[in-house]
Amino acid sequence: MKIGSVELPSPFVIAPMAGMTDSAFRRLVKRHGGCGLVVTEMVSSEGLVRGIDRTLEYAEYTEEERPVSIQIFGGDPDKMAAAAQIVEGMGADIVDVNMGCPVPKIAKHNAGCSLMREPSHAATVINAMAKAVKIPVTVKMRAGWNDQSRNAPDLARMVQDAGAAAVTIHGRTAEQSYSGSADWELVSGVARALSIPVLGSGDCIEPQQVVDRLRSGVSGVLVGRGILRNPWLLAQAADLAAGRVPREVTPRERGQFLLDYIDLLVNERINEHDGFRHLPPCTSGLTPETALTPEPWALGPAARVARGRGRWVVNKLRALCAWYSKGFERGSHLRIRVNAAASVQELRDIIGEFFFQEASATVRAREMCQGL
């Protein structure tokens, strides 16, 4: 599958998820295979243009994640075009526009899903961006704002005409938020009507669902919450699509994923070789006078540790485990213990006990039963 001139090695994509799909998580999913594209968490066009340090951090990615799409939000055509140029300057392969976020904080600024309420303005934004950059500009939208306005089919055509290279549709309205189920009929209808690739998003939890959705006529499938529960989901879907039995994941592998995630977070920007991490142009070009805020990476590892990296890692693990612990035995027990952990070492101990010691005890018990 190709988006503009960008070739995707697989049609399965990690959906953007604010607060969840950071670079460390994306790298680990990518290492398991089956993933054709990663999309960053959404970043503010305003923050990019003003050089706000937190925004710039969210847009970072590492070389091993390629192809990479950086998702931005905003409603001002000039600022969105300028932000797209910053994204292009960071070396990203694709710039994606968020037209799906229903959160009032975003929507009230004429951004996210509220752009779907003003289709011609939305098309103006895409047109300004497509003229400003050479990399493909893509759009991620919902089915519409509400049931009275399920206008994704019209808007998708309008952004295609304005220069978008691909469209993703999450088949729910903004008003639905996450209730009900995603309307894949609508998504595949749009896929049939457009000449650019149309990707679908929504409710894929099992590998077979990912493959079935792909066969419904879309060019690709984005997986969101399912991948937070099972980071091997895209690899398993790729196994199925290739006619192989989907790989099994052992409790030890599940535990190792969390330990690896902790290690990547703890060592972020410390043990990484030059050129591996793609920083926004201003991190190398801006001086303290031109940057509006001090940049954390300019402070050095020791200062960052002092700024509470441990607490940040603990919070990241709590957020992931809320999803990751769903659907497996004693998952709630893990969740409660991780939520009570106060340090990175405590987290490692809990994971070790839960996935390694308890897992081997279960295997031993099974072996003993089989021997009886």
Ligand X SMILES: Cc1cc2nc3c(=O)[nH]c(=O)nc-3n(C[C@H](O)[C@H](O)[C@H](O)COP(=O)(O)O)c2cc1C
Is 204 annotated as catalytic? no
Q: Does 115 bind ligand X (CB under 6 A)?
A: no
CB 297 within 8 A of CB 279: yes
CB 181 within 8 A of CB 202: yes
Q: Does 15 bind ligand X (CB under 6 A)?
A: yes
Task: Tell me the β-bridge partners of 199.
Answer: 168, 220
Q: Does 42 bind ligand X (CB under 6 A)?
A: yes
Q: Restricting to residues 135-154, name those near ligand X by CB under 6 A.
A: 140
Q: Does 309 bind ligand X (CB under 6 A)?
A: no
Q: Restricting to residues 158-217, name those near ligand X by CB under 6 A.
A: 170, 201-204
How is residue 3 written in tokens?
Answer: 């988006």
Residue whose CB is nearest to ligand X in the complex, by number: 224
How is residue 50 written in tokens?
Answer: 């003003």
What b-and-e string marks burial along 23-38, b requiring 16 or more CB atoms within 10 Å of the CB? bbbbbbbbebbbbbbb
Alpha carbon distance 154, 159 (integer Å): 9
How is residue 346 written in tokens?
Answer: 């405590």
Q: Which is catalytic among the residues 35, 101, 113, 321? A: 101
Interface stretch with ligand X, choices 10-18, 22-30, 113-121, 244-252 (CB under 6 A): 10-18
Find the binder of ligand X among 186, 198, 223, 233 (CB under 6 A).
223
Nearer to ligand X by Cβ, of 101 and 122: the residue is 101
Nearer to ligand X by Cβ, of 100 and 359: the residue is 100
Torsions phi, psi for 97 (to 5 deg): -110, 130
Find the binder of ligand X among 23, 45, 85, 98 (CB under 6 A).
98
Alpha carbon distance 356, 361 (integer Å): 8
Q: Restricting to residues 64-93, name those near ligand X by CB under 6 A.
A: 71
Q: Which residue in 114, 119, 125, 179 sits closest to 153, CA to CA?
A: 119
Q: Does 41 bind ligand X (CB under 6 A)?
A: yes
Alpha carbon distance 325, 331 (integer Å): 4
Nearer to ligand X by Cβ, of 170 and 291: the residue is 170
Q: Does 18 bind ligand X (CB under 6 A)?
A: yes
CA dist list (Å): 161 to 77, 78, 113, 167 = 16, 19, 19, 12
The amino acid at residue 63 is E
DSSP reduced 3-state for 297: helix
Nearer to ligand X by Cβ, of 13 and 347: the residue is 13
CB of 66 to ligand X, least distance (A): 20
CB of 205 to ligand X, least distance (A): 8
Q: Does 316 bind ligand X (CB under 6 A)?
A: no
Alpha carbon distance 247, 232 (integer Å): 8
Number of residues that bind ligand X (CB under 6 A): 22
Q: Does 100 bind ligand X (CB under 6 A)?
A: yes
Q: Does 20 bind ligand X (CB under 6 A)?
A: yes
Nearer to ligand X by Cβ, of 45 and 355: the residue is 45
CA dist list (Å): 263 to 64, 231, 321 = 17, 17, 16
DSSP reduced 3-state for 191: helix
How is residue 343 written in tokens?
Answer: 């340090």
DSSP reduced 3-state for 14: strand
Alpha carbon distance 50, 64 (integer Å): 28
CB of 226 to ligand X, least distance (A): 5
CB of 96 to ligand X, least distance (A): 8
CB of 345 to ligand X, least distance (A): 27
Nearer to ligand X by Cβ, of 101 and 158: the residue is 101
Find the binder of ligand X among 11, 224, 255, 280 (CB under 6 A).
224
Interface stretch with ligand X, choices 14-22, 233-241, 255-263, 300-308 (CB under 6 A): 14-22
CB of 355 to ligand X, least distance (A): 24
CB 10 within 8 A of CB 217: no
Site of tokens 């925004």: 55
Chain contacts with ligand X (rule: CB under 6 A): 15-20, 41-42, 71, 98, 100-101, 140, 170, 201-204, 223-226
Catalytic positions, written as ranges: 101
